[in-house]
Amino acid sequence: MVRLPFVSLLGLQGALALSTFSPRFKREADAVPFVNPTLAGGSLLDRATPTLGEPLNVIISGLSSPGVLSDAGFLTFVNAIGFATECLGIHIGDPQAANLGDGHGYVNQTIELRQDFGNVPVGSCLESLAGGNHLRLFRQNGPTANTGALFLAVSQEENVFEGHTISPDGYDIGRDKFVQGALGASGFHTVAQNITGLLAPGSTGINHGIATDGVVVLLTVTTA
């Protein structure tokens, strides 16, 4: 696991207090990294099945550079880490949804990206066959929490012969690999904090019954 300073959720209580933001008139002084989804009925688990979810284990802070938080800018950032859009633009399987406590309720993922093994055009096809890291993106931009923060469900997958399921310990492994790549991404400056208290450790409610350590990593990403 990537070793980073731990920050208790209680230590961020003031900064992450539930606030109301106007999409057009949000002042710089009002900006926060993110709002805790559980304060308004949301969850740090997305909805993979009617009863189980995958952990939203990485958050790109709303205090990151605005360009990084846009769809195109985020894609540029993760391209630098080694992720690309799905193989030939083909997606198999239903999208997952998340409730980020921002007033929108459950919303389907914005995009799903896969490890590209250094080949942006077709590398994600190899991930679909051989396994590797992948992520789902959700944006916190509703009327009661318009932070712009990006919540990611990152996980390591097995190869197609293993049913392309999540690897044992794959949620923590996927998170740590993503964070390690983010800290070394060329053209970006990334600061990481481990946060506890948002996601309960263990396997309760988690898809495939795979336990996690309960750590969510907050990344603040600025363009270099």
Output the pLDDT for position 130: 57
Output the pLDDT for position 179: 98
Identify the domain containing residue 167 by its residue range.
Answer: 6-12+32-223
Establish how many alpha carbons lie within 13 A of residue 120's alpha carbon, considering only the half-sphere containing its beta carbon. Answer: 7
Instruction: Give per-residue pLDDT as tens, 82-101.
Output: 888 766 555 455 789 999 99
20 falls within a domain: no
Helices (H) then strands (E): counts for the chain: 4, 10
Q: Which of 185, 143, 146, 137 is nearest to 62 (CA)?
A: 146
Output the pLDDT for position 163: 52
Between residues 25 and 196, which one has the greater pLDDT?
Answer: 196
186 falls within a domain: yes
Q: Mean pLDDT over residues 142-162, rounded? A: 87
**pTM for this model (two decimals):** 0.83
- Total domains, the chain: 1
Query: Is the per-residue pLDDT at 5 higher than 70?
Result: no
47 token code pair: 């909805």
Reported as type and span, the H/E element at residue 14 is none
216 falls within a domain: yes
Instruction: Give per-residue pLDDT as tens, 37-72.
Output: 999 999 999 999 999 999 999 999 999 999 999 999
